[in-house]
Each structure stands twice: as C-alpha cells, then as structure tokens.
Amino acid sequence: MRIALGGITHEANSFSAHVTDMADFRDRHLLRGDEILANWRSTRTEHAGALSVLADVPGCNVVPTFLARALSGAPMYEDVFRALLQDLLSALAAAGPVDGVLLILHGAAMSQETPDATGEVLAQVRALVGPDVPVVGTLDLHANVTERMAAATTALIGYHTAPHVDMYETGQTAARVLVGAIRGEMQPTAALARLPMLLPPENSTHMWGPLADVIGRARELEAAGEIIHGGVYPVQPWLDTPDVASSVLVITNGKPEIAHGYAQELAACFWDRRHAFVTELLPPTEAVRRALARAEGTVILCDSADATTSGSTGDSTAVLAALLDSAPLAARALVNIVDPAVVKAALAAGAGAEVTLEVGGKIAPDLFEPVTFTGTVKTISDGAFVFKGPGMRGVTHHMGPTVVLVHGGIHLVVMSRPVSQWDPELYRSLGLEPRDARIVQVKSPMAFRAAYEGLYDDVIVVRAQGAANPDLVSLPWRQVRRPIYPLDPEVTYG
C-alpha cells in the first residue's frame, strides 16, 4: 500500500492589508520529500497524527510529497498559489502510482484570482490520480467547505475543537478513513449542507455555548456508529467571496440517505443558534479601566480584531494607546505588536538604551495609527519559541528579531513578523510571565483559551478596528452573495 502525503494550508482574510507571498510560507513551513517525515513524533499536528496511524499499517509505504503552511493573511498572490500547486502536483506525479492520497489542508485558502483555492487543489489532485484512487483531506474547523471540495474527495475530515487541540486526532481519523477506503472496508459517502451564515469566532467553541451543542450532537452520532464523521464548520467569516457559507459535512459508510438526513438535522441545529454567537465588545479604554479596577488577578484583553491567526496584520495600536492614556500603571501589562522598523531601531540602540519611537500602524495604515512610545530596551531575542500547550504542541514559531520595550508597567513585545498567539510561550520566551501581569494582550479570538487555561481570571473582548473585526456588519463587503446572516438579519434557511 503506497500513500502520498502532502498539502497546502492557508487561511485567507479578504480584509487584510498583507497579501500572502512565498516568504510567508518559507517563514512557517515549506517542506519537500523526507523533510515532511522529520521530527513528526515531536509535534501535535495533522500530519503527525496521520503518520502515527500509517506507521502501524502492515505493508504501508508513505510517500512524502510537498507540504506548505503559512500564517493567515490576505489571499495569496496568484503566481504564488500556482507555484505551490505545481510543486504539489509535480511531487505527486513523481511519486508514481499510489493507492491513496492524504492531503493536509485548511479549507479557507484563496488566491487573488482563485476564490476557492482549496477546491482547485483538490480538483487538480483528483484529475492527476484519477477517479478511483481514494483522496482524503484534513480541514480546519473554519474551512469554507464548497461543493467542489466535496465532489473531488473521498472524505474530508475536520477539527472538532476550538480552540484547535485535536489536530493530531484529526490526522489520525483521516488516515484511518483513507486506509479503510483503500482496503474496501469503507465506502465513504458525504452529504454537505451549507448555511447562509457568517459567525464571529469569540463564542465559537466546542467547550460551551452554541457551537458546543452542534458539535456535541455530531460526536454522539459518531460514537453511536451512525456516521463516520460529522464536520461542523462555522467558516472563516472574513472571506469576501460569493461562495462562502457555514456548513455541515456528514460522512457515512455507504449510506447516502442517512448522511443527508443527519446533515440536515445538524444544519438546522446550527442555524437555530446563530444569534447566540454574538459576544460583548468593550472599547479599549473601558477594557483597560475594567481590568485595572480589579484588586488582583490576570485579565486577558482579547484583541481579536487584530488576530494574526485570523488574517490581521498584528500592528494595531488600540490597546497600547489605551494603556498609555492610563499611564503610569501600578500594575504590569504585557502587550505586543508587529513592527520590524521599531525592532531595527531598538537593536541599533542596544539593550539598556532609552528610545522614543513611532510604534505600529505601518502595515495597515488605513486601520491603525502609530503611537509615540518611550521605553527602555529590556530584552533582545531571535524570536524563536516552541508551543507547549495542547494546540500545535511542539511546533516552533519564529517572530524574527524581537525586543521588549518597557515603559513603567507596560512591557511591549515588538516582533519583526507575526506569529500565532495561542500560547503564553510567546511572552515566557522573553522572560515575561503572564501570571505576574494584571493585563495580558492576546491577538486571538478563541484559540488562546486552551494554553492560557488556568492563567487568567477574566477575558475581555476589545472593540477595535482590524481585518478580523468580529463586528461583521461593519466591514466593507463587496463580493459576498446576499442575503447572508448577519448582514441580512431576516434571511431564512431550510
């Protein structure tokens, strides 16, 4: 049994100022051949989970092809997407005849000329290997699952968690389904239900609330053996394209009518809870005031509008400006921003120097304004750190040259390039302990809650501008097909 392993993983945000280029993939993962197999046992990723299953399948030979990952951002340059796709197809062709293909995907990829980039990848792979070779893909919970994606694959297996802590298990499930299909032990049959609905992610979690209800029901059906997989996808909501929707994708073992029935049941459950996804948002000044009013404890200021894992640029100054307006602070505040020019100036000044610099607001100047910051260069780092929480455990992230500037109680982490902010190791790698701070800024709407669990006493979601603004109605939509909730509150489904 020969199984090809590869993929292209990217999550687009149509409102982001940073167009995704090849450097964004090089900064994260651009792996060829045996590089995909190196050190997989040390990470909790999809391909590691898949390999853990395939390693125990007698006679199974995994053929690594090409695997590219980038942080979320604006749709890729078209030539970048086409180059990545060609690398994947060429590596797959060079692998020779295979019995199955396992692709690591996100499901919300876009390029400037290809709105459904994931569908294009899957269609091209299907055309290359032919109609009879099983093709299984993994998806993020925020995938935009299209009809084209479903039609090109044997099965699509998505995360069941937000925060995303089941990447490894998702890879395992995908590998088991693929092996079952190759052996003829499974005949995956899918039913896709798409809902005219975009949802902010702050209340979109498997742990509690409206999404937990829907995912819980899908898991019940899986546990009872009624279905192979029930994927519930609240979609990346900042995709300004006509073919965007939340969705449910149910896979059964050769039972299309049952798949259709359960897909409709889960979709109705999902739709009925749409209003419960709205969360309270506080302006930055009020958020800071409320956090500082506490006698003790740590408060996360969830600056989700500037979430780098949602496609924003990471250079918002909204929280920093509010903290400076409240200075001097008796308490400690940990904040962060992306600004390579400030890093360069601080490095030139050296550790211990006092600098006055214009910080932030340079990557997305239409959304953010720089602020003047005077502080001491406390820490200089290469910006590399390893996630230790349950999401992406073992994966190294690279902020590039990074400095910590201190102004009273404000400890400002300035990085050269954005990274995922799911894990407190971002701060700890620089000698900053979130438990010791009153305020900790995290640019992530939900995924941080897993690794930060036990470190905070409260979470306040900040109302601010940004490419990942949870106030979806306020964004300048141009391409999305109408009507769609919440842009059109009266839209109906079913």
Shared domain for 67 and 87, answered yes or no, is yes
- How far is Cα 5 from Cα 95, in angstroms, rounded to an integer? 10
Written as one letter, the residue type at 415 is M
Judge whether residue 477 has pLDDT over 90: yes
Q: What value does the mean pLDDT take over residues 65-82?
A: 97
Confidence band of 41 (pLDDT split at 50, 70, 90)? confident
Q: What is the pLDDT of residues 48-70, one digit of tens each?
A: 999 999 999 999 999 999 999 99
Three-state SS at 400: coil
Is residue 261 exposed (0-12), middle (13-18) or buried (19+ Cβ within 10 Å)?
A: middle
> Of 277, 300, 319, which one is at a domain's C-terminal end?
277
Q: Give how many domains the chain has, as a whole number.
A: 2
Q: How many CB atoms lie within 10 A of CB 449?
A: 22
Q: CA-CA distances (angstroms) from residue 374 to 316, 317, 319, 449, 470?
A: 17, 14, 16, 32, 31
- Summarised one tens digit per residue, pLDDT across range 296-353 is 999 999 999 999 999 999 999 999 999 999 989 989 999 999 999 999 999 999 999 9
Last residue of one domain, picked from the residues 225, 248, 277: 277
Quote the pLDDT of residue 391.
82
What are the residues facing 13 on neighbouring strands? none
- Does one domain contain both 355 and 290? yes
With a cut of 90, say whether residue 167 has pLDDT above it: yes
Read off the CATH number of the domain in which 268 is found: 3.40.50.2300
pLDDT of 327 reads 86
84 pLDDT more than 90: yes
**8 Å CB contact between 106 and 71:** no
Is residue 483 assigned to a domain?
no
Closest by CA position to 141, among listed 249, 274, 263, 261: 249
Q: DSSP string of 20-33?
A: --HHHHHHHEEEEG
Average model confidence (pLDDT) across the chain: 97
Answer yes or no: do 166 and 298 share one domain: no
Residues 305 and 172 in one domain: no
Overall average pLDDT of the 88-111 stretch: 98
Does residue 36 share a domain with residue 182?
A: yes
Specify the pLDDT at position 336: 98
- Can you give the residue range of the structural domain that contains 98? 2-277
Q: Is residue 202, in this structure, part of any structural domain at all?
A: yes
Indicate if the pLDDT at residue 42 is higher than 90. Answer: no
Judged against a pLDDT cut of 90, whether residue 133 lies above it is answered with yes
Residue that terminates a domain, selected from 224, 248, 277: 277
**273 and 289 share one domain:** no
Query: Residue 481: how many CA atoms within 13 Å on its side-chain side?
Result: 7
Residue 364: pLDDT band with limits 50, 70, 90: very high
Q: Is the pLDDT of residue 434 over 90?
A: yes
Q: Cα angle at 177 between 194 and 310, to 5 degrees?
A: 45
How far are the Cα atoms of 49, 192, 214, 353, 461 from residue 249, in angstroms, in the given order?
A: 21, 5, 12, 56, 30
**59 with 1: CB under 8 angstroms?**
yes
pLDDT at 39: 80
Instruction: Write phi, then psi, for 373 (nearest 5 degrees).
Output: -130, 125
Which pLDDT does position 372 carry in this prediction? 98
Whole-structure pTM value? 0.95
| 372 and 324 both lie in a single domain | yes
In the chain, the amino acid numbered 271 is: W
Residue 136 lies in a domain: yes
Residue 392 pLDDT: 86
Residues 261 and 299 in one domain: no
Q: Which DSSP helix (H) or strand (E) runs through 426?
A: helix 425-428
pLDDT tens, position by position, 261-303: 999 999 999 999 999 999 999 999 999 999 999 989 999 999 9
Residues 306, 288 within the same domain: yes
Query: Domain check: are 227 and 361 in the same one?
Result: no
- Residue 414 to residues 72, 252, 335, 337: CA-CA distances in angstroms? 19, 49, 9, 5
- pLDDT surpassing 90 at residue 413: yes
- Retrieve residue 1's tokens: 């049994």
In a domain, 492, yes or no: no
What is the side-by-side order of every strand in the sheet holding 354-359? 354-359, 371-381, 402-407, 410-415, 333-338, 439-442, 299-302, 458-461
Query: Is-contact 296 304, C-beta < 8 A?
Result: no
Q: Are 34 and 179 part of one and the same domain?
A: yes
pLDDT at position 320 is: 98
User: What's residue 474's pLDDT?
Assistant: 96
State how far the Cα of 461 lies from the Cα of 445, in Å rounded to an integer. 8
Check whether residue 311 and residue 200 sit in a common domain. no
Position 474 in a domain: no
In a domain, 479, yes or no: no
Report the length, in residues, of the chain: 494
Task: Identify whether the C-beta of residue 201 lies closer than 8 Å to the C-beta of residue 26.
Answer: no
pLDDT number for residue 359? 98
